Amino acid sequence: MQSGWRFGTLRNIPLRIDPSWLYIVGLITVSDAVAFAPRYGLALGTLAGLAMALLLFGSVLLHELGHSVVAQSQGITVNSITLFFFGGVAAIERESRTPGGLFQVAIAGPAVSFLLCLLFGLLGLLLPLDSLGATLAVNLTRINLALTLFNLIPGLPLDGGQVLKAGIWQATGSRLQGNRWAATSGKILGALGIGLGLLLLLQTGDFGSIWLALIGGFIWRSADRYETINAIQEVLVELVAADAMNPADFWARAGNNTRLSLGRMLALPDEVTVRESLPLLDVVDQLDRERLRSLPVVSLSGSVSGTIDRGSILAIVAQRLMIAVTPAQVESARETGAFPPNLPLSAIVQTIK
């Protein structure tokens, strides 16, 4: 998530605010002002409500910064941190290369929230009991404790889902299996949140239950997106260059009447080739890394058996996943070197390379 307004930079990470953030800040300010006004007056209560909203999102920002700092320590680029309606998200360019690294990045956010819980709790003890500062500190203690516990729920996209994924990855040796189980867990938790929220709304008439349903919906949609990405990654690992390559006479059958050598038709150095057995994940990475439109595919004997390009890769992946792509999209991928938005294979490959 990199939309919204940029309001600063920390550790070379752009900080952004999504427009939806303004709604939740306004809602928190008003609700807390109503709670504080009888005790501190309308003006001070409103200022206290605004302070609570800003300190809450400051806590969320530090939570995401915890993830980001640990990711940067592993050489991973963090493109931005964005505050939005449901909290915050750090746009981390790729995953850690080991389950241990993934665990460290995942647990860093809840660890920061728990530390803030302890610090605000200590501040609340030091301030006069009936003071506005003590009230804010106690509220922020509870909020950061809730953030810690909520984010440790074992389902994607929550941090606990990443912890679960790291554990399954460590136990099975399969990153993709870890992602599959953590995404499934997230969808189950999201569905439970939606169902429980709607059930409470119907039984009690409390419109506050809508929040639980909204959060459940957000978790379910995010987990579903993780599941879709994981399915694409599995296909890219399972399929190999031989599955997607164009036959050696593809260009001639497509209308090239001159019998040029394959190397001349592709205008590539002879050494730039891929094996028939190379997974499509690595083929896409090589095409992007070398900034090539296509590559010759060679057999075990060393003879050229065909060519492979983004168009042929897009077609076979879409076919395997039963996702509709048009001939124009396939040809565009072949000619421009860019995959369509509904199958951004290059971006997906880079998340795990």
Contact predicate 299/227, CB 8 Å: no
Amino acid at 21: W
Q: Is position 64 annotated as part of the catalytic site?
A: yes
Cα-Cα-Cα-Cα torsion 164, 167, 169, 172, nearest 10 degrees, comes to -120
Cis amide prior to 340 (ω within 30 degrees): no
Q: At residue 341, what are phi and psi to the nearest 5 degrees?
A: -60, -30
* In the block, residue with structure tokens 């506005």: 132
Contact predicate 212/255, CB 8 Å: no
Q: What is the CA radius of gyration of the chain?
A: 26
> Strands 78-84 and 13-17: what pairing?
parallel
- Catalytic pick from 64, 95, 227, 234? 64
Residue 241 structure tokens = 């260059």
Q: Catalytic amino acids?
A: 64
